[in-house]
């Protein structure tokens, strides 16, 4: 159960981090704000954390998103590596 069922917790966190974002270079600022926006995918879990200022839930959401990306990338990289190795083998025959 959320302490703020009708509140935009991610939006509040985005505003709380606005000063940090504003201090970044434009390119980094855009990446940072996009990263925060992606936390909306986990908004229900962030709200369920049940804290008035759920920075920890935001960070867990970000770490979880990175974990998902790594798990998606690892098999892709392994497959590309295998394809490269196969090409090298073919060229040496």
Q: Is 50 left (phi over 0), alpha (psi -120 to 50) or beta?
A: left
pLDDT at residue 3, rounded to an integer = 47
Q: What whole-number distance in Å separates Cα of residue 43 and Cα of residue 30?
A: 20
Residues near 50 by beta carbon (within 8 Å), at least 6 away in sequence: 1, 2, 3
Residue 2: band (very low, low, confident or very high) from pLDDT cuts 50, 70, 90: very low
Which structure tokens are listed for 4?
């703020």
Q: Which residue has the tokens 């939006």?
A: 11
Highest mean pLDDT among 12-21, 34-43, 46-55, 67-76: 67-76
**Span 67-90, mean pLDDT?**
93
Q: What whole-number distance in Å separates Cα of residue 29 and Cα of residue 93?
A: 50
């Amino acid at each position: 159960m959320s302490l703020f069922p009708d509140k935009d917790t991610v939006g509040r966190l985005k505003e709380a981090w606005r000063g940090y974002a504003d201090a970044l270079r434009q390119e980094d600022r855009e990446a940072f704000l996009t990263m925060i926006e992606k936390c909306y995918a986990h908004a229900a879990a962030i709200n369920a954390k049940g804290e008035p200022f759920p920075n920890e839930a935001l960070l867990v959401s970000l770490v979880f998103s990175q974990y998902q990306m790594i798990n998606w990338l690892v098999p892709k990289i392994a497959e590309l590596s295998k394809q490269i190795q196969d090409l090298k083998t073919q060229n040496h025959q």
